A and B are shown apart, each in its own frame.
Chain A
Amino acid sequence: AQSVTQLGSHVSVSEGALVLLRCNYSSSVPPYLFWYVQYPNQGLQLLLKYTTGATLVKGINGFEAEFKKSETSFHLTKPSAHMSDAAEYFCAVSPSGTYKYIFGTGTRLKVLA
């Protein structure tokens, strides 16, 4: 069975500080991993994905994530937070080659001026 755990339902960072959002997963088969962002009253937008190959993946808006199989993690980072990064972030896992996503419960990021 697959599952996703996002540690911290709320994270606050100062503008210009490092953003680190944590995601751990469990999967009985090689996973595909995704990060989505949801701005208020909007749908989910894909930030980045890992399917195969390079374990460090870069996404939009300066975000990146690293797939660490030994730690079953896929943490999202951004070197310098911007006010516009304030949103809710969802990690999702999909057993490779299947359609089904398992979403985490989300982390709401607040950026302080």
Chain B
Amino acid sequence: DAGVIQSPRHEVTEMGQEVTLRCKPISGHNSLFWYRQTMMRGLELLIYFNNNVPIDDSGMPEDRFSAKMPNASFSTLKIQPSEPRDSAVYFCASSDPSRQGAYEQYFGPGTRLTVT
């Protein structure tokens, strides 16, 4: 299995620009998570999808952030407009809670976003 795939791995952009991060979950996993990791705040859950439907977006910082999951194999996290304080590593994770005992999440390699 290829694992969770994220692109790009690194993104450098200027303040005010739109940024789109992409994620392909593990095939067969029906839950998808977007996290943000910073030194100050650690790992924060931004949004959780189940069967392509957003279930919990309470962690999305503000309206500048949006996430979509148009199908079971693809999700995007968009920031528009981006700000320097959005600089962080963004992780996508997937899981298959329908499989008994399988509550663990599998993480992608992350996208390191730098907004200048």
Q: A43-B109, A103-B43 are in contact. Are A32 and B4 (CB under 8 A)?
A: no
Q: Which residues of chain A from 40 to 90 have any CB-CB distance to chain B below 8 Å in the complex?
A: 41-46, 49, 51, 90
- Taking CB atoms, residues of chain A closer than 8 Å to B106 are 46
The CA-CA distance from A45 to B31 in the complex, in Å, is: 17
Number of interface residues of B (CB under 8 A): 24
The CA-CA distance from A33 to B103 in the complex, in Å, is: 10
The CA-CA distance from A56 to B109 in the complex, in Å, is: 29
Q: A90-B43, A99-B48 are in contact. Are A44 and B91 (CB under 8 A)?
A: yes
The CA-CA distance from A24 to B20 in the complex, in Å, is: 37
Listed residue (A43, A51, A94, A106) with the most chain B CB atoms within 10 angstroms of its CB: A43
Q: Show the binding face of B for A, using Cβ within 8 Å.
A: 4, 31, 33, 42-43, 45, 48, 50, 55-56, 91, 93, 95, 97, 101, 103-110, 112
9 pairs from A and B in contact (CB 8 Å cutoff) = A41-B109, A42-B109, A43-B107, A43-B108, A44-B91, A44-B93, A44-B107, A99-B48, A100-B45
7 closest Cβ pairs, A-B complex: A43-B107, A44-B107, A103-B43, A43-B109, A46-B104, A105-B42, A43-B108
Q: Show the binding face of A for B, using Cβ within 8 Å.
A: 32, 34, 36, 41-46, 49, 51, 90, 94, 99-101, 103, 105-106
Apart from A32-B103, A43-B107, A49-B104, what are 15 other A-B pairs with CB-CB below 8 Å?
A: A34-B104, A36-B107, A41-B110, A41-B112, A42-B109, A43-B4, A43-B108, A44-B91, A45-B107, A99-B31, A99-B48, A100-B48, A100-B56, A101-B45, A103-B42
